[in-house]
Every structure is written in structure tokens, then in C-alpha cells.
Amino acid sequence: MKFSEIWVYLSATPLLGLTVTLVAYQLAFWIYTKLKLNPLANPVAISVALLVFLLWITNTPYATYFEGAQFVHFLLGPATVALAVPLYSNIQTLRKNLVPLGGALLAGSLVAALSAVGIGWLLGASRESLLSLAPKSVTTPIAMGIAEKLGGLPSLTAVLVVATGILGAVLARGTLNLLGVQDHAVRGFAVGVAAHGIGTARAFQVSETMGAFAGLAMGLNGLLTAFLFPLLVRLWGG
């Protein structure tokens, strides 16, 4: 029996999508550990590349794959809520830094959106594309909802969000070291604002404190963006 015939048979099983997703990530994480946690070997980027290659060579529609992978997608909700646990362990640090964290959140959210839109505008992107670019530093479900509400392309936004998260996770350590930022709470908050869930996952690999503040930043950035961006678009010209 040919491999293509076996694949056609297996692809009819919804759990195949879940299985290949888990296997791809385990393989990617194995590569990541073998390279001594080098940021350039980000396991999310590697697993995405493996899955895209697999779907391409087997000519499998994304919808078919997602029938099984949706179980992982469902767990994003509980996983996000669970980020409150390590944050509670660092509640005293949070209370002491409410004002600077609030300023950092506002500045980070605005810079992330306006820089992306500005670069897109200079390159001649359409209004639809610019509205898709704006929420690229927000976690995927919120970003797609914002893009759709504002008249952007949710699918394009999803790709941009993933790319932003991977890039942020890869560059965060070197950039923060270059800037001389050593406090794990500050490092985590910066990563969470700029690189949402993928950056938060990387932050937890460094320390619980860094991960907790990254998760806080990710949630607050999504909330702020959802309220702030529609107002900015109206001021821009509706």
C-alpha cells in the first residue's frame, strides 16, 4: 500500500490532527534542548514549519487537520486562566509596581500597533491590511476579533500574530540584555506586551516570576487593545 493511500485513510480520523501536532512539538522541543535552548531554535517556529510541510506534501486541507487540532486550541482557554496562579504568588511585586507597569503597558501597546501600521503605510499597504497589522502583538483570539471588528482580515492577522510571537521570543533575551534589563518581572512584562502567548511560554522557561508578569502583560494588552483601537480608528477616519 502506498504512503498516500495510508495517509488518506488516517486523515479521516479526527485525532490525527492532535497526534501530529503533539509529535511535531515534541520533535521541535527535542531539537530546542539539543541546541541548549538557543532562541533561534524556537520550538513553536520549528513545529509550525514541520506541520506546514506535512500538510503540503500530503495535500491535506487545513480544515481537515484542524478537526483534530482543535482539542489543543480548546485548551488555550484553561491554560490562559491558569496563568493567574503564578501571578498570585508574585502579588506583592505587582502591587509595588502598578504605576510603572501601567505606563509600560500603554506605551508598549501603542508603539507595537503604531509602528506596525506606520511601516505598512510607508510600504503602501491597503487600509484593510493596515487594520490587520494593528493588533499583531495581541494574543490570537483577541487579535482576530479586533481585526474583524475594524474591517481587517482575521486570517492575515492570525499569521502576523504568530510571526510576531516567534520573533519576539527569539529576540527578547538578546534585546533585553543589550538594554541592561535584568529584573525578571520587568523582562517578563516586556515580553508579554510584545510577544503575547509565545513570548509568555518562553518566559516561563526562564523563571516563574518572568512568566507570571508576561502572562499579566499579555492579558492586559489584549484588554487595552480591544478598547483602545476602535477609538483610534474612529479618530483616524472611521
pLDDT digits (tens, 9 = 90+) for 20-65: 888 899 999 899 888 887 777 888 888 888 988 988 888 888 777 7
The answer to whether position 88 is within a domain reads yes
Q: What's the number of domains the chain is made of? A: 2
* 167 and 204 share one domain: yes
The answer to whether position 14 is within a domain reads yes
* 38 and 140 share one domain: no
The answer to whether position 78 is within a domain reads no
The answer to whether position 23 is within a domain reads yes
Alpha-carbon gap, residue 68 to 189, rounded angstroms: 33
* 66 and 95 share one domain: no
User: What pLDDT is attached to residue 224?
Assistant: 85
Segments in the chain forming alpha helices (H): 3-11, 15-34, 43-57, 62-74, 76-82, 84-89, 91-96, 98-122, 127-133, 140-150, 154-178, 184-206, 208-236
* 37 and 104 share one domain: no
Instruction: Single out the residue in 54, 73, 92 at which a domain terminates.
Output: 73
Query: Among 42-46, 89-93, 114-118, whose mean pLDDT is lowest?
Result: 89-93
Residue 156, Cβ neighbours under 10 Å: how many? 17
The model's confidence at residue 202, banded by pLDDT at 50, 70 and 90, is confident
User: In degrees, to the nearest 5, what angle opens at C-alpha 190 toward C-alphas 152 and 125?
Assistant: 25
The model's confidence at residue 218, banded by pLDDT at 50, 70 and 90, is confident
| Exposure b/e, 41-80, CB count within 10 A at least 16 = b | bbbbbbbbebbeeebeebebeeebbebbbeeeeeeeeeeb
Query: Among 1-10, 106-115, 151-160, 162-171, whose mean pLDDT is lowest?
Result: 1-10
* 209 and 157 share one domain: yes
The answer to whether position 53 is within a domain reads yes
* 171 and 100 share one domain: yes
* 116 and 13 share one domain: no
* 102 and 203 share one domain: yes
User: What pLDDT is attached to residue 89?
Assistant: 76
* 66 and 88 share one domain: no
* 52 and 154 share one domain: no
The answer to whether position 111 is within a domain reads yes
Say if residue 6's pLDDT is above 90: no
* 14 and 132 share one domain: no
Domain range for 47: 3-73
The answer to whether position 128 is within a domain reads yes
* 41 and 154 share one domain: no
Instruction: Single out the residue in 43, 73, 103 at which a domain terminates.
Output: 73
The answer to whether position 37 is within a domain reads yes
Instruction: Single out the residue in 37, 53, 73 at which a domain terminates.
Output: 73
